[in-house]
Amino acid sequence: MEKIKLTIDGLEIEAEAGTSVLDAALANDIYIPHLCHHPDLKPVGACRLCGVDVNGRMEMSCLLPVREGLDVKTNSPEVGATRQVAIELLLADHPQGCLSCGASLQCELLHIADHIGVDGERIERLRRPSEPLPIDNSNPFFSFDPNKCVLCGICVRTCEDIVGLGVLDFVNRGSRTVIGTFGNEPFIDSICESCGECVVRCPVGSLAPKRWQRPSHEVQSTCVYCGVGCGIYLGVKGDQVVSVRADRERPSNQGSLCVKGRYGYNFINHKDRLTTPLIKKEGQFVEATWDEALDLVAEKFADYKGSEFAALASAKCTNEDNYLIQKFTRAVMQTNTVDHCARL
């Protein structure tokens, strides 16, 4: 890929041709505030926060491709003044009490406000009186609070361009504009499949999961719901799984998950779930160690050959596990009687 040399705030950097100035800056640890940009989506230049100065002209850095010799200033007085107005207007249209919002630690709007520095009194003067809009709690996995929405359109583009459903769009015009489903119906009555792709990309607390706790650490794993093998990170707190996050590096899902993979992790902590092997002794199942259970299975396998043996695999295993069980059944147990519960 062709490399382009440009200068940002006096620092000469290199970027691949076709990269935006915003992405080139972020890749070189130069922060430019941005709210409507997401690396998975085409830029639209909606929030007007990522403006930069190029030879005295204001350009939106998310829409500006790198060019040889480009000289970009991210903090000229003109850029600063434009950004100040943009963030103040957004905050003036945003509910007060951000600190009680579940997303406050990850809210991009608060992060940008902190970075730019805002005058709280001026924002209160800019605030126009308005009635709060109803919160849509109809979806079992996430809620939608239109009052916290900044109209960045990331959810709309995610649903259209990544998920391919197009559930969401801008509804109404002017200052009454909101994000909504077709006919502005509750999520539960729309064609939404609850995959949560819009929720994980929402830069504020407008689309928020109903059940989420900050994990103390994460464990890399593979989703057990089907054979696609989506990469996940299970968030763990104490001895409980409290969150699931998609693995962006796993080729099979590249950061996406379906509703089951993202939200269907309750069973892991369910009290009825077997977590130790059981061996039947004198008609009763008793708990055993894995070594005891595997030794018993290996010992019993020696008694069966050919058609006496059958294997039933599970769709909750990875493709690799299922490949191994059919190989073991055919090559070791010498039978083709192997089946799979993929007809779930």
The binding site for ligand FES (CB under 6 A) comprises 34-37, 45-50, 60, 62
User: Minimum CB separation from ligand FES for residue 11, in Å?
Assistant: 20
**Nearer residue to ligand FES within complex by CB, 48 or 245:** 48
**Nearer residue to ligand FES within complex by CB, 37 or 262:** 37
User: Minimum CB separation from ligand FES for residue 109, in Å?
Assistant: 12
User: Minimum CB separation from ligand FES for residue 38, in Å?
Assistant: 9
User: Minimum CB separation from ligand FES for residue 138, in Å?
Assistant: 29
Name the token pair of 129: 């009186």
**Nearer residue to ligand FES within complex by CB, 49 or 244:** 49
Task: Give the number of C-alpha atoms closer than 13 A to the C-alpha of residue 54, restricted to the C-beta side.
Answer: 19
**Nearer residue to ligand FES within complex by CB, 45 or 277:** 45
Rounded CA-CA distance 190/178 in Å is 16
User: What are the C-alpha distances in Å from 322 to residues 16, 273, 281, 344?
Assistant: 41, 22, 30, 16
User: Minimum CB separation from ligand FES for residue 311, in Å?
Assistant: 54
User: Could you tell me which of 231, 223, 160, 170 has the C-alpha nearest to residue 192?
Assistant: 160
**Nearer residue to ligand FES within complex by CB, 114 or 249:** 114
User: Minimum CB separation from ligand FES for residue 46, in Å?
Assistant: 6
Name the token pair of 108: 């991009």
**Nearer residue to ligand FES within complex by CB, 52 or 230:** 52
**Nearer residue to ligand FES within complex by CB, 34 or 94:** 34
Residue 305 in contact with residue 279, Cβ under 8 Å?
no
Rounded CA-CA distance 4/18 in Å is 9
User: Minimum CB separation from ligand FES for residue 318, in Å?
Assistant: 38
